Amino acid sequence: MPDSLEIELTEAMVDGFASLSGDKSALHTDAAFARRSMYRRRVAHGMLPLMYLSFLFPRGPKPYGLKKISGRFLKPAFAGDRLTMAVTRVKNEAGAAAPILFEFSVKNSETGAVLTTGQMTVSHEKEPADNHAGAASPAKAGCLVLDRLTEADLFFEGIQKGDRENFGFRLLQAHAARLRALLAQRPLTQADPASFLALSLFSTWVGMRMPGRYATFMDFSCEFKKPFDWDRRYEFAGLVDFKSESTSTVSGKITIHSKESEGEAIAMGKINAKVNEPPARMPSIEALKKSETGLGLEGKVVLITGASRGIGETTAKLFSLHGAKVAVNYFQGEAEAKAVADEIKKSGGQAFAVRADVSDRNEVKKMVAEVLKKFGRIDVLVNNAVGDAVPIPFQELQWEQIQRDVDIVVKGAFNLCQEVIPHFQKNGWGRIINLSTVFTEIPPPQQTKYVVAKSALVGLTRSLAVELAASNITVNLVVSSLVETDLSRHVPKVFLEGMKNDTPMKRHASSADAAKAVVCLASNLASFTTGQKIMVTGGNAPFL
């Protein structure tokens, strides 16, 4: 006997096996369905390569019959794969009629990956002379299964211990001839083909009935009690006898008996199958229209620090245009803040100016209370307050100047976050957006205090993002390059012009550019974005 056999699976073989065995599971026959599975393409039936074992039986004066077989499917095979089927004799008890134990394996010939392993026991059979496939025509054979099977689509939760699935089948010599033609091999002269035909139905039970469409065949075992007869109706009966919640697998107890004698088992076995999750379904256009077309800012309450001018002012106005209610925080610019609020109200929005030194915890508490009294809630916090960006050589810099910037930028954000986060957590929703700068990555000279303060804000953002994510609170940064506001008035025009020409988009960021990034991070568009930087740099470094 040969100890190995080279196999090349083809699409026609997969289709032919599906037609013969009745296992027309979508994973094997539907390319579109298979493409959306974890395998990404049609999978060949695990039992298909095992049919070749019948050609590796030992030669002898009498045909051999399959007594026992077990197999474990480790990896899938696909049409187009070249496989190597190998058998090794493990034990041969004394006597010509003694059973012989073999181990077998199926490997991918190109990669060497082991796809299937198992054992089988064979012995000489005493059976009628006509119990082999002679010259019967494959054209006369249809499907082995007599019942019209529909593919089940059971989920793990829908399968219960004690569930039964049965179907009838009939074995014809023409089926053996069809199998031989399908495998393109010599006649089955050394092995009983009927047992292999019956074995193929293990695949049918898993792929069509239990669980069906979402099955991955894991392993099986079968013991044949007596030979099959041709042209007799048999019943393939399966009973679910175990479920594993941890692995999403089900086990089935298999019995094959003749229709005439239901109590007499011809074969008995076990099957284990994993019940996969169905392919992910993308939301329909109607669902997207209902939940995702708007920014989700209508009626939200936004508190923006340092909003009397610059980026904060523009951000407040843009939020209002999207239906948000805005609290315009200021420290010294009362007239400017009230002008921003008045402009929003004149355009049909809701806003009011509220004073607080963000570095003073008591004043922050008072401001938050005022916002809650006015609007009833806070949904979005924008930490934009900053001191100044006047350049100071390091040797002339006083620590008190650094401390002042840290108090406004970092301590201010700290104070605001600690006050509003409990309200976010109570509502199960919240957005925190902090304003940073590219200077933390590309520091200009004489800006130590500004860079130190903004760098600390980066760390605060990252830490809060991790800590608050489970509460559906996102924390992100908007990082802009130079924006021409009052903060940058100290920069000579010649330098501003040079920086603009060096920017790939040939312009500086506008306050609206930064404001749009803030609004985006507060909206439904960024509901799964946290701990991130949105770069508003016109193509300048740093790149992500």
Strands (E), 247-388: 249-258, 265-275, 301-304, 325-330, 350-355, 380-383
User: What b-and-e string marks burial along 252-274, b requiring 16 or more CB atoms within 10 Å of the CB?
Assistant: bebbbbbeeeeeebbbebbbbbb
Token digits of residue 420: 């509003």
- As a whole number of angstroms, the distance between CA 387 and CA 408 comes to 7
Residuewise pLDDT in 10s, the chain (544 residues): 558 788 899 999 999 999 999 999 999 999 888 888 888 889 999 999 999 888 777 666 666 788 999 999 999 999 889 999 999 888 665 555 678 888 999 999 999 999 999 999 988 765 443 444 445 565 566 899 998 889 988 888 889 999 999 999 999 999 988 988 888 765 545 577 889 999 999 999 999 998 988 889 999 999 999 888 899 999 999 999 999 999 999 999 999 998 776 567 899 999 999 998 887 788 888 888 877 888 999 999 999 999 999 999 999 999 999 999 999 999 999 999 999 999 999 999 999 999 999 999 999 999 999 999 999 999 999 999 988 778 899 999 999 999 999 999 999 999 999 999 999 999 999 999 999 988 888 888 888 998 999 999 999 999 999 999 999 999 999 998 877 765 555 565 656 676 777 788 888 888 899 999 999 999 999 999 999 999 998 888 877 6
**pLDDT given for residue 131 in this prediction:** 45
- As a whole number of angstroms, the distance between CA 299 and CA 320 comes to 9
Distance of alpha carbon 410 from the chain centroid: 37
- CA proximity to 49, closest of 133, 108, 113, 124: 108
Angle at 542 between CA 537 and CA 544, to 5 degrees: 100
Full 3-state SS string of 109-156: CCCCCEEEEEEEEEEECCCCCCCCCCCCCHHHCCCCECCCCCCCECCH
**pLDDT given for residue 486 in this prediction:** 59
- As a whole number of angstroms, the distance between CA 261 and CA 136 comes to 27
- As a whole number of angstroms, the distance between CA 321 and CA 89 comes to 80
Domain annotation for the chain: domains and CATH numbers: 4-275 (3.10.129.10), 297-536 (3.40.50.720)
**pLDDT given for residue 66 in this prediction:** 86
**pLDDT given for residue 128 in this prediction:** 42
Contacts of 345 (CB under 8 A, 6+ apart): 351
Contacts of 250 (CB under 8 A, 6+ apart): 156, 159, 210, 211, 240, 242, 243, 244, 272, 273, 275
**Residues acting as catalytic residues:** 450
- Report whether 171 contacts 145 (CB < 8 A): no
Residue 396, judged by CB atoms within 10 A of its CB (0-12, 13-18, 19+), counts as exposed
Token digits of residue 170: 């009939």
Residue 2, judged by CB atoms within 10 A of its CB (0-12, 13-18, 19+), counts as exposed
- As a whole number of angstroms, the distance between CA 274 and CA 485 comes to 62
Token digits of residue 11: 């699409």
Contacts of 410 (CB under 8 A, 6+ apart): 453, 456, 457, 460
- CA proximity to 278, closest of 383, 156, 184: 156
The alpha-helical segments, DSSP class H, found in 393-492 are 399-406, 412-427, 448-468
- Report whether 28 contacts 14 (CB < 8 A): yes
